[in-house]
Structure 1
Amino acid sequence: MTGTTTTATPRATHPTAPATPPASRRAPLPLLLAVGVAALVATVLVAVTIGPADLSVGEVARSIGTHLGLPVTPVDPRFDAIVWELRLPRVLTGAAVGAGLALAGAVMQSLTRNPLADPYLLGLSSGASLGAVAVLVVGVAVLLPVAAFVGAMAALVATLALARSQGTLAPGRAVLAGLAVSQLAAAGTSFVIFWTATGDSYREILSWLLGSLAGATWTSVAIAGVAVLVVGTVVVLAGQRLDAFAFGDTSAAALGIDVDRTRWTLMTLVALLTGAMVAVSGAIGFVGLVLPHAVGALTGPAHRRLLPVAALAGAVLLVWADTLARTVFDPRELPVGIVTALVGVPVFAVLLRRGRGSAWT
């Protein structure tokens, strides 16, 4: 008697989603988006009420409504100034930065097929930090966004040049080149601070390098918000191309995708996005690393589902992290990057344990 053995074809896994439920058991995307938007709106309203001044959600909503021209009863001018000029720009900036970092992390993890990738992988954040610190120490803060953009793009160009030094461009070589460029930019940042910073500027620069939203204004909201909307729209529309990268470059090319052009176009957009986030908030870690993994467990690997939900989750996470940073030790304030690290490390450790035996290992 002759038996036959059937070998199941292995299913491709995505580095950002180590363990996902079957498609039939996942919540539909409209429901996930509706819950995410509701959570973000509630988070913004509640976070604005938290602080030394005693405000209610109703007062916050009325203040916002007044400035939007809605027929609502105006609040006390003092409370209106606290909401509109101080807290709301900071909260909205935090939401935009969190969304941007989550998007950047998800795209980087897909393009490099590296589950540990984040906006820092190719030296983008370090390059942006170098550019920003260079203008901070000379007192030209108005050029900070431009300097951060230039620094991020310079880091990307240096990484690509180093990665292509042997004629080919592989994700693994790009990662190693990015680490080298990141260390070089970090050394440059330290040199600039050591050589030029004096007096209280050390403390200001250190706080910024650890991530801080303390100086957020409506200009910060505009810079981060526009970057997230533009880049986010482009990468969501490119979701199917990002899905193809999970199967490798050869499979992606077989599907008709120009692999090099797509990868580096999206990486350039991520560099711009990272520069915008660093310009308004400084260097904030772990959001872009952890969020795509955590959200991927709910949405599955498809980027048309993963990216918008990750952006909403990142926005909510960073708003609450910044709220903790500015209130736990009031009147002193922690850099928000410390809070994201304290939260992100244990969460990432749990995700690593649950990901054993999957695409993570």
Structure 2
Amino acid sequence: MQRLAREDGWVWRCLLAVLALATLSVSIALAVSVGEMGIALSTVGKALLNGLGLGDYAVPRIVQGIIWEYRLSRALVAACCGAGLAICGAVLQALLRNVLAEPYVLGISAGASTGAVVVMLLGLGGGVIGISLGAFLGAALAFGLVLLLAAGASSGPAQVILAGVAGSQLFNALTAYIVSTSANAEQARSVMFWLLGSLGGVRWPDVGLAAAVVGAGLLLCLYFARALDAFVFGEDAAATLGVPVVAVRLVLFATTALITATMVSIVGAVGFVGLVVPHIARFLVGPSHVRLLLASVLIGANFMVLADIVARIIVPGQVLPIGVVTALVGAPAFALILYRARRRA
């Protein structure tokens, strides 16, 4: 009976994985098809085959450019961003033993925002440093500061969270000061749009960077999946099971920081994805981190692609920041998580 139950469980999880992959394919196809200029799915398929060098179909050049150069790259970056933030959320919730932990708890988003604003408004780097690089450098600086405030990787979860809050407040204050003293109305609007998340400027080099970082990060986190299972029961329990606590925490903190910094540098600060998606995945596949990480990747990718579609069509003639859409969905979910955490306390 137990063997049959295990087999049924694996069948169920495989079906969920197939469903998630199929849904992601459909979501990306819709993201490429839907927009101010609607494009038939058959034309999308022909353009994709042309772009891959697998066909030579008669597709108008402007339509081919919109599909291949703009919408497909945008959809793939959205999928990578959702997957990366979901991975970080799942890992940090285990490391910090806090159901409300998310990728931005280490102050990385705030630091990236400051770095981007410094480049946009103050012109730091004289045109050599772009917005993405500036955001990445700001995120790295914020992560270093949080580690310093937390007195190294041997600090407990509470110290890391408090250090992250302090770092976030510091960099948020710096961002607000720079915007209020150096930006005109148009610049302030551009900064606000970027801070809420924007996929408008992504291109194929961003796809390669995002996919490489997320893929490498996922493999590394999967390697430490059993250690993450142990961390759920506390650091003492993990150490008893033979997990090198300090080294594993440092590696995983650095990995999540790198993924988050890369995603924020490409698309801006998109909230709630890393907070909500791991809880949905945990509900569907259970607490084992091998399954949890893979499920978080698929759900996070789907969520971000669908959120981008909504951001492009919800207001006719205008593209909303994607962070607005994720917040509209994530805020009620966040309230539900708080309610459940309070009942468990």
Same fold by TM-score greater than 0.5: yes
Q: Which amino acid aligns with 2:326?
A: T
* 1:82 corresponds to 2:66: yes
- The Cα offsets for residues 261-294 of structure 1, whole Å up to 9 and x where unpaired, read as 1111111111111111011111110000000001
* 1:195 corresponds to 2:184: no
The aligned counterpart of 1:302 is 288
The aligned counterpart of 2:139 is 152
After TM superposition, the structure 1 = structure 2 runs for residues 6-85 of structure 1, keeping only pairs within 5 Å, are 26=9, 28=11, 29-71=13-55, 73-85=57-69
The aligned counterpart of 2:149 is 162
Moved more, 71-80 or 338-347: 71-80
| Higher RCO (CA 8 Å, separation ≥ 6 residues) | 1
Q: 1:136 Cα shift? A: 1.9
After TM superposition, the structure 1 = structure 2 runs for residues 177-196 of structure 1, keeping only pairs within 5 Å, are 177-196=163-182
Q: Which amino acid aligns with 1:32?
A: L
The aligned counterpart of 1:229 is 215
Distance 1:351 1:185 in 2: 27
The 8 Å contact of residues 154 and 246 in structure 2, kept in 1 or not, is answered as no
Moved more, 338-347 or 131-140: 131-140
* 1:276 corresponds to 2:270: no
SS of the residue aligned with 2:37? coil
After TM superposition, the structure 1 = structure 2 runs for residues 258-269 of structure 1, keeping only pairs within 5 Å, are 258-269=244-255
Q: 1:118 Cα shift? A: 0.4
The 8 Å contact of residues 224 and 276 in structure 1, kept in 2 or not, is answered as yes
Task: Give the CA RMSD over aligned residues.
Answer: 2.1
The aligned counterpart of 2:79 is 95
Distance 2:132 2:246 in 1: 28
The aligned counterpart of 1:285 is 271
The 8 Å contact of residues 294 and 351 in structure 1, kept in 2 or not, is answered as no
Q: Unaligned 5+ residue runs, structure 2?
A: none
- The Cα offsets for residues 61-103 of structure 1, whole Å up to 9 and x where unpaired, read as 1111111111352422221111012211111111111111111
Distance 2:128 2:110 in 1: 18
Q: 1:348 Cα shift? A: 2.9
The aligned counterpart of 1:344 is 330
Distance 1:137 1:26 in 2: 54
The 8 Å contact of residues 66 and 74 in structure 1, kept in 2 or not, is answered as no
Distance 1:141-1:281 versus aligned 2 partners, 3 A rule: farther
Distance 1:225-1:84 versus aligned 2 partners, 3 A rule: same
Q: Which amino acid aligns with 1:127?
A: G
Distance 1:200-1:261 versus aligned 2 partners, 3 A rule: same
Distance 2:208 2:120 in 1: 20
Distance 1:89 1:96 in 2: 11
Distance 1:23-1:117 versus aligned 2 partners, 3 A rule: farther
Q: Give the TM-score of the pair, scaled to structure 2.
A: 0.92
Q: 1:316 Cα shift? A: 0.8
- Tell me the percent identity: 40
Q: Which amino acid aligns with 1:96?
A: C
- The Cα offsets for residues 198-230 of structure 1, whole Å up to 9 and x where unpaired, read as 352211111001111122211222222221111
Q: Which amino acid aligns with 1:190?
A: A
Distance 2:156 2:235 in 1: 9
The aligned counterpart of 2:107 is 123
Q: Which amino acid aligns with 1:162?
A: L
SS of the residue aligned with 2:104? coil
Q: 1:135 Cα shift? A: 1.3
Where is the helix percentage greater, Structure 1 or Structure 2?
A: 2
The aligned counterpart of 2:238 is 252
Q: 1:142 Cα shift? A: 5.0
The 8 Å contact of residues 194 and 267 in structure 2, kept in 1 or not, is answered as yes
Total equivalences in the alignment = 337
Q: Unaligned 5+ residue runs, structure 1?
A: 1-21
